[in-house]
Amino acid sequence: MHKLAEPTMRRETRLADRSEAIAFVVMLVFVAAAPFFAYPLFLMQVLCFALFACAFNLLIGYVGLLSFGHALYFGWASYVSAHAAKVWGLTPELAILAGTVAAAVLGLLAGSLAIRRQGIYFAMITLALAQMMFFFALQVKFTGGEDGIQAVPRGRLFGLIDLADTMTMYVVVVAIFLAGFLFIHRVIHSPFGEVLKAIRENEARAISLGYKTDRYKLVAFVLSATLVGVAGATKAIVLQLASLTDVNWPMSGEVVLMTLVGGLGTIFGPVVGAFVILTMQYKLAPVGEWVLVIQGVIFVACVLLFRRGIVGEIAARLRIRL
């Protein structure tokens, strides 16, 4: 049986390490140059979604767990951080922290339920729990129901730096994204990450070797939810908006699509995927409902013909690790 993420072929470890470093530098150059070519607001959105997809990929790509409910952490983190910034008047870094903590707690609760079942059930449970919290968001007062939380103040970072200026905000978002990205990279290459990959390849074997796989899975789940929370909370500050779109199930599907297009189980794939999908949505906005159809077609095409995704395909062709 094919695994979800096929390990890409490796010719030489040193070359592989270098290829990741080179790709990272390329990404840095791109991030630094991009605001001169595209709308910074759009780019900040891309970076938030890229972090969202990277955190999602930590689960599916490295533990083999498909969560179909990651909108839960993204949406609720963005509600909490928007509320913290607007109603409690917290500074942006504390608002983002509040959203992140909320996502971590929700991840712990949902994760400890979901890991009680494997495979396909895991996906259905995460989806159902996310839908439950969607209805909850619809009913609770503080989320603002259909209106969402609008006009969230960006405030002053550490009470000092005014984030109303777009370029300042961009630098902050880049810093948050890179911190999250490097953290995920570190986790994947740590001994803990090696155990996660062992669980992905053969959970029964990992159990027989004495690993308490449920605990590893739960920690991975909470890590993923927490990082998704960082992305969601940051997004609320950047776009100054938290809405039902962010907690609803199509958002969970979108992050799956981004990761699939970029390449499951690749480090740079989700970033590329987020960029490609958001660009597509932006360019295709005039054709309305057809966006949904096109996304569906991409899903089908990726599963049937293009399972490695963009980055996975490049890595396999060049026999490097990305």
List residues near another protein by CB under 8 A.
1-4, 64, 66, 68, 113, 116-121, 123-125, 127-129, 131-132, 135-136, 138-139, 249, 253, 256, 260, 288-293, 295-300, 302-304, 307
- Residue 120 CB, nearest approach to another protein (Å): 5
- Residue 217 CB, nearest approach to another protein (Å): 14
- Residue 209 CB, nearest approach to another protein (Å): 21
- Among residues 173 and 256, whose Cβ is nearest to another protein? 256
Q: Which two tokens stand for residue 148?
A: 């969402």
For the chain, state the CA radius of gyration.
Answer: 19
Q: Do residues 273 and 309 make contact, with C-beta atoms less than 8 angstroms apart?
A: yes
- Among residues 229 and 253, whose Cβ is nearest to another protein? 253
At residue 248, what are phi and psi to the nearest 5 degrees?
A: -80, 160
Q: Which residues of 64-76 are buried (b: 16+ CB within 10 A; e: fewer)?
A: bbbbbbbbbbbbb
Q: Kindly report the three-state secondary structure assignment for every residue of 250-300.
A: HHHHHHHHHHHHHCCCCCCHHHHHHHHHHHHHHHHHHHCCHHHHHHHHHHH
- Among residues 39 and 121, whose Cβ is nearest to another protein? 121
- Residue 139 CB, nearest approach to another protein (Å): 6
- Among residues 167 and 304, whose Cβ is nearest to another protein? 304
Q: Do residues 192 and 216 make contact, with C-beta atoms less than 8 angstroms apart?
A: yes
- Among residues 119 and 159, whose Cβ is nearest to another protein? 119
- Among residues 127 and 228, whose Cβ is nearest to another protein? 127
Q: How many CB atoms lie within 10 A of CB 317?
A: 10
Q: How many CB atoms lie within 10 A of CB 298?
A: 17
> Strands 156-157 and 161-162: what pairing?
antiparallel
- Among residues 111 and 229, whose Cβ is nearest to another protein? 111
- Among residues 1 and 160, whose Cβ is nearest to another protein? 1
What's the start-to-end Cα distance of the chain, in Å?
Answer: 24
Residues with Cβ within 8 Å of residue 224, at least 6 apart in sequence: 55, 56, 58, 59, 67, 70, 107
- Among residues 64 and 232, whose Cβ is nearest to another protein? 64
- Residue 157 CB, nearest approach to another protein (Å): 37
- The partner residues of 129 in beta bridges, in order of sequence, read none
- Residue 115 CB, nearest approach to another protein (Å): 10
Q: Do residues 171 and 104 make contact, with C-beta atoms less than 8 angstroms apart?
A: no
Q: Do residues 150 and 201 make contact, with C-beta atoms less than 8 angstroms apart?
A: no
Query: Angle formed by the axes of helices 119-139 and 249-262, to 10°?
Result: 140
Residues with Cβ within 8 Å of residue 207, at least 6 apart in sequence: 213
